[in-house]
């Protein structure tokens, strides 16, 4: 099955955001992946709800907000208000993940849990009824351009089995170090959505990179 492609806007050229947005639309991106970093949960800063609001006013693309923040309870609502369609927050950062997933769902949006590389997926079985997607980090979160962690392939298979057992049809998204080789491995292991930043944005035209990643599902 052909995977969905989520370009990570963290790798977009900040001086040409409008142009890069148009290129993502032209390439039929399945969603736009927005990495929100707070300098606390991860050692880096990116952007806040302001960018999401500006994008919302200018694109029909699904806005996929990956919150790499401590206290996601304080930040989910502002991103929903700004126009996020899908919100993922980290299990490691949340005291009440079930409640937070419910809050996102009650707003009519899609809810996802993100897991760091060293986090066991087993607790997902208790959240399965409220999950639209699981984001498996395939690098340590915080920066684009890092190397894919091969041990995550087993975790993708494990997560797929666990979700199936729970009767949950949530998508599995992989994020970090995705290129054509690792993208293909992830799709074979059971991933549905490939996030790609530094590798994808190297392509000119951008649509060529999308083509290559989509072909990993053949």
CA nearest 88: which of 174, 187, 5? 174
- Cα 65 to Cα 49: distance, rounded to the nearest angstrom: 10
**Active-site hit among 35, 64, 179, 192:** 35
The secondary element (H helix, E strand) that includes residue 115 is strand 110-115
- Written as one string, the DSSP assignment of 138-175 is SS-TT-SSPPP-TTHHHHHHHHHHHHHHTT---EEEEE
Nearer to Zn ion, 132 or 175 (CB): 175
Q: Min. distance of Cβ 119 from ligand DX5 in angstroms? A: 14
* Structural contact between residues 51 and 14, judged by C-beta atoms closer than 8 angstroms: no
The secondary element (H helix, E strand) that includes residue 114 is strand 110-115
For 60, 84, 100, 148, 155, the CA distances from 74, given in Å and listed in that order, are: 26, 15, 10, 30, 29
- Cα 148 to Cα 137: distance, rounded to the nearest angstrom: 9
Residue 144 found at the interface with ligand DX5 (CB under 6 A): yes
Residue 198 found at the interface with ligand DX5 (CB under 6 A): yes
Q: Min. distance of Cβ 39 from ligand DX5 in angstroms? A: 13
The entry of ligand DX5, Zn ion, none that residue 144 binds, CB within 5 to 8 Å by partner kind = ligand DX5
Residue 112 found at the interface with ligand DX5 (CB under 6 A): no
Residue 145 found at the interface with ligand DX5 (CB under 6 A): yes
35 counts as catalytic:
yes
Q: Min. distance of Cβ 53 from ligand DX5 in angstroms? A: 20
Q: How many of the other CB atoms lie within 10 Å of CB of 43? A: 11
Per-residue string for binding with ligand DX5, 66-85, x by CB under 6 A? x-------------------
Residue 183 found at the interface with ligand DX5 (CB under 6 A): no
The interface region with ligand DX5, picked from 20-28, 84-92, 103-111, 170-178 by CB under 6 A, is 170-178
Total interface residues for ligand DX5 by CB under 6 A: 22
The entry of Zn ion, ligand DX5, none that residue 145 binds, CB within 5 to 8 Å by partner kind = ligand DX5
Nearer to ligand DX5, 118 or 161 (CB): 118
Catalytic residue numbers read 35, 175
């Amino acid at each position: 099955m052909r995977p969905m492609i989520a370009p990570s806007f963290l790798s977009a050229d900040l001086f040409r955001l409008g142009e890069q947005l148009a290129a993502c639309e032209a390439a039929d991106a399945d969603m736009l992946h927005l990495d929100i970093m707070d300098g606390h949960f991860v050692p880096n800063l990116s952007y806040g709800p302001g960018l999401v609001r500006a994008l919302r006013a200018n694109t029909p693309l699904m806005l996929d907000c990956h919150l790499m923040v401590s206290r996601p309870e304080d930040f989910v609502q502002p991103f929903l208000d700004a126009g996020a369609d899908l919100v993922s927050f980290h299990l490691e950062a949340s005291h009440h993940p079930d409640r937070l997933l419910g809050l996102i769902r009650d707003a009519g949006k899609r809810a996802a849990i993100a897991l760091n590389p060293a986090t066991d997926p087993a607790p997902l079985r208790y959240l399965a009824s409220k999950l639209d997607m699981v984001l498996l980090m395939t690098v340590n979160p915080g920066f684009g351009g890092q190397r894919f962690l091969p041990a995550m392939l087993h975790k993708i298979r494990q997560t797929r089995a666990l979700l199936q057992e729970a009767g949950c049809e949530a998508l599995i998204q992989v994020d970090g170090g995705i290129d054509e080789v690792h993208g293909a491995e992830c799709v074979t292991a059971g991933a549905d959505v490939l996030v790609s930043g530094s590798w994808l944005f190297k392509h000119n035209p951008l649509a060529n990179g999308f083509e290559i990643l989509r072909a990993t599902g053949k």
